[in-house]
Structure 1
Amino acid sequence: MSVIDRTADGERGGAAPSVVVLGATGFVGRHLCAAFAAAGWAVTGVARGTPAVPPPYRTVALDLVRAAPERITRLLAECGAQVVVNAAGAVWGVGEDEMALANTVLVRRLVAAVAALPDRPRLVQLGSVHEYGPGPRRGITEDTPARPVTPYGRSKLAGGLAVLEAARAGRVDGLVLRVSNVSGPGTDPVSLLGRVARHLTAASPGALRLAPLLAHRDFVDVRDVADAVLAAAGSPATGRVVNIGGGRAVPVRDLVTRLTELAGRGTEIVEAPAPGGRPPEAEWQRMDIGLARTLLGWRPRRSLDDSLRDLLAEARTAARLRPVVQCRSSRPGHHGRDG
């Protein structure tokens, strides 16, 4: 029985379809949980810690990096999972070993856990454009050879291949969404756009020093990513890679300039190479998203301006709350992707 059939059966029986989102407290994971909940799904969010403010869906605290496949299988069975979305992983501020654990080993354990279930759920793995490495100017299609040049890209590719190989062997019902650079409300403050937004919403921002903004990159709003995952949850396609992005190469310098314009502040941007620094990973990056339209019926709906405005709005809110959080809590924050 396909995931579509199981979902329809659940709806006819009066029970909401069930989804388990791994990495539920991260930037993308929070939006995924909200989108599934708004669409009427019974959501279980899984992350290492619990949110400071309880969300309107079930949450489970579990260190997925160290959890055995049997523990993950029990959790999925208890939730009656019809769809499992893996938005967990590591990208910012960690070494290669931790990236390998979070982006490769975890996924292999997840595949084993899903394969052990008698009624296998649909598995949606969130991959990354960085699995491709530097892209051709004509655009990155799903047939573009994957030649990652960073530890992050290599670890994400290895995790995605684990899902694809298992799906093509008939052990799981899964697919991989390779997602471009994600923007929108809640963007990680360690990322380029998050760092710029945080600087622009500070009380007295001075000059902002950045590495040379030479790259052209593909950006997609986080809420459009959530829409794509919802579409993938019901798609009959399995064992496939599908690109999810904005579909155009955006000059990063123009994007930073636009952020400053939308913030209404004349902040000086200083571009200076770090001593011994490496050039950007992908000088030119544009995702071909034609297959997403064909297989998923998906296309991005939010403009880049809307995405940047909402990023700034949430950054302003965070700036107002930041002193309160620092006074009330002595625990160090965690800004990893999976919360």
Structure 2
Amino acid sequence: MRRILCLGSTGFLGAHVAGQLRALPGVRVLGGGRSTPISPSALLSASSPALVDSLPIDLTTISVDALAEALRALAPHAVVNCVGSVGNSPLRLAEVNTRGPAVLCEALRRAAPTARLVHLGSAGEYGATAPGRSIDESAPTRPPGAYGATKLAGTLIVAQSALDATVLRVFNPIGPGSPAASLPGRLVAELRRALPDGTEGLIRVGDLSAYRDYVDVRDVARAAVLAAVAPEPLPRILNIAGGGATPVRAIADGLVAASGFLGRVEESGPGSHRSAAVSWQRADISAAAAALGWRPHFTLAQSLADLWNEGAPVAVLPSAPAVPAGVPTGVPAAS
């Protein structure tokens, strides 16, 4: 049975990744989180192959020796690292986004050097680009702030390691479970608070004129699953995005449409420094298509409707493609 450890399995991205991994036959999914009482030996003795267990791993504090010991006991065939921090202090960003991948890479080198490592990076590593240009993986990286800089450092640690590793540079994930700290999550909360029936009122937001490349979180998870089980080595960095530039205003418009809100969304609130520093992003996703057979499936309208309704399952897509020999069947479909 193939054992795959998903770190950050209770977060926005990680929960979807763990959900799709759990749907694969012949795969034992192990979840890693900051607080759990289960030991590596208990995980190995559990009888249900479909069980998603939880291993106590905090990459910001665990030592390399302790993590190597856990990995040695688990002997994972692959590790998907979904751990990341967006809006904390520079110190916390460095601990999560840079130290975490460094400790993980060193522990894997010592204890499970043949395991596939899939690390989730960020479009924030690229920084500003010229309007109209699509960013491929060879584009210069010029992050404008601590978040992008710490994510870039983590990416370089993984990409330059001797491990069988790939970094999925995720652009702007959206969809069911979007966190309250994100613009979509905040807008949903504001729309629900506008009035009990959510049909009128005024909602103030910051400038929505920037362009972003949005990708559904379920499509991100599918890319991570495909990368984790791919039989051949992968490119060191792959863009995972929708492949289009969408005005941020479309997020507000789409949620208003999904909710039936009849009031106004006014761009008179405090703006985002990131939006001011990076006014345009659009990814070239051809490398992911070539390496993984992956393309985004969900439309922005679907993502927003499912976010508003919060009824979409964290699961595989309805159809499945043919997969390479040696890869477990049941991998969610690439469209």
Is the 2:207–2:272 Cα contact (8 Å) retained in structure 1? no
**1:165 partner letter:** Q
Listed as ranges, the gaps of 5+ residues in structure 2 are: 38-49, 313-335
- Provide the residue aligned with 1:337 in structure 2: none
Moved more, 120-129 or 198-207: 198-207
- Provide the residue aligned with 1:301 in structure 2: 297
Q: Distance in 2 between matches of 1:238 and 1:109?
A: 22
- Provide the residue aligned with 1:227 in structure 2: 222
Query: What percentage of residue pairs aligned between the two structures are identical?
Result: 37
Report deviation, 1:238. Answer: 4.0
Q: Deviations over 1:123-156 (max 9, x none)?
A: 0110001100012322010111111111110000
Q: Distance in 2 between matches of 1:122 and 1:61?
A: 21
Cα 1:285–1:113, aligned 2, differ >3 Å: closer, same or farther? same
Is the 2:211–2:279 Cα contact (8 Å) retained in structure 1? yes
Alignment of 1:39 onto 2:24: yes
Is the 1:201–1:312 Cα contact (8 Å) retained in structure 2? no
SS in 1 for 2:142: coil
Cα 1:275–1:160, aligned 2, differ >3 Å: closer, same or farther? closer
SS in 1 for 2:10: coil
Counterparts of 1:34-183 in structure 2, within 5 Å, are: 34-40=19-25, 41-50=27-36, 56-92=51-87, 94-136=88-130, 137-166=132-161, 171-183=162-174
Is the 1:174–1:238 Cα contact (8 Å) retained in structure 2? yes
Counterparts of 1:189-268 in structure 2, within 5 Å, are: 189-202=180-193, 204=196, 206-235=201-230, 236-238=232-234, 240-268=236-264
Q: Distance in 2 between matches of 1:280 and 1:83?
A: 38
Q: Distance in 1 between matches of 2:189 and 2:298?
A: 22
Counterpart selection for 1:29 from 14, 18, 34: 14
Report deviation, 1:18. Answer: 0.7
Moved more, 109-118 or 72-81: 72-81
Cα 1:79–1:286, aligned 2, differ >3 Å: closer, same or farther? same
Q: Distance in 2 between matches of 1:278 and 1:99?
A: 15
4+ residue segments displaced more than 3 Å: 202-206, 275-279
Is the 2:235–2:291 Cα contact (8 Å) retained in structure 1? no
Moved more, 216-225 or 77-86: 77-86
Q: Normalising to structure 2: TM-score of the pair?
A: 0.83
Q: Deviations over 1:78-123 (max 9, x none)?
A: 222001011001113x111100000001110111011112552000
Is the 1:47–1:64 Cα contact (8 Å) retained in structure 2? no
Report deviation, 1:312. Answer: 0.6
Moved more, 194-203 or 220-229: 194-203
Is the 2:7–2:83 Cα contact (8 Å) retained in structure 1? yes
Q: Normalising to structure 1: TM-score of the pair?
A: 0.82
**1:306 partner letter:** Q
Report deviation, 1:274. Answer: 2.8
Q: Deviations over 1:42-64 (max 9, x none)?
A: 1111111359xxx9411123322
Is the 2:3–2:75 Cα contact (8 Å) retained in structure 1? yes
Equivalent residue pairs, number: 293
Q: Distance in 1 between matches of 2:261 and 2:159?
A: 46
Cα 1:221–1:200, aligned 2, differ >3 Å: closer, same or farther? same
Q: Deviations over 1:247-289 (max 9, x none)?
A: 0001111221111011111132121253896753321110100
